[in-house]
Amino acid sequence: MACIPETGEVRVGDKINVVGAGGPMGTMHVIRNICQGVGGVSVFAADIDENRLAVLSKLAEPLAKKNNIRYEPYNPRTHKIEESFDYTVVMAPMPELVSTSVKTAEKGAVINIFAGIPADVTATIDLNAYIEKQLYFIGTSGSVLEDMKRVLAKVESRHLDTDVSVAAVCGLDGAGDGIRAVEKRRISGKIMVYPACKGLGLTELSRLSEDMPDVGKYLVKGIWNKKAEDALLKAYQKSQSGV
């Protein structure tokens, strides 16, 4: 019991490994850890999909440089990282990744089993290593009101940039296609649904400048922002009012 950390947060100087970093939630974890202001951390981003890693790095590298954070993306199938980690976040629902995280953990590490591994799925864990290294599993994404207030404060203080999580936009007409895109892992980011934009199908930001140049021109290095959102809403307000 004495080995249980006070919180499930990353700590000063932690080497963080985000496993399955290229997906929407993995991207959010990478960006959060780069931007949350904890000193001396380094962020490793693991994903077996090279395209997803490339999209993630386009967002994460400028932020890591800005915040003076070491950021290392890697494909575990092609590049073996000779590192051990103080904090691992498992974003893919694969129990074998939890087993591997025990092997690559530093003493006193936290292993955050964030992905929803089914309750009837088992894995072999080296409990001797778990005990000797004084590791600790956590596995919840449930937040209380105070957690939400802290996140809001980080957004308001501009320490956390939520714009970088957006990969596509749509109206209610495109929501079904959005769900299918998530299921097929076709879009590596969040999809913003705007009910006011009647008739807007699923549109990836990479196509926005071509499909909607009056909106796409406001993207900053391909990243969504308030000006682009305002232009989108204004365009559909005009079209629906007949102007």
Contact partners, residue 37, CB within 8 Å, separation at least 6: 67, 159
Fold of 15-156: Rossmann fold (3.40.50)
pLDDT digits (tens, 9 = 90+) for 95-140: 899 999 999 999 999 999 987 777 778 889 999 999 999 999 988 6
Taking the C-alpha atoms of residue 181 and residue 186, their distance in angstroms, rounded to an integer, is 5
| Start and end residues for every CATH 3.40.50.720 domain found in the chain | 15-156
Global pTM? 0.71
Residue 178 has pLDDT above 80, yes or no: yes
pLDDT of 239 > 70? The answer is no
**Is residue 83 scored above 60 in pLDDT?**
yes
The whole-angstrom separation of Cα 172 and Cα 191 is 11
- Give the integer Cα–Cα distance in Å for 76 and 66: 26
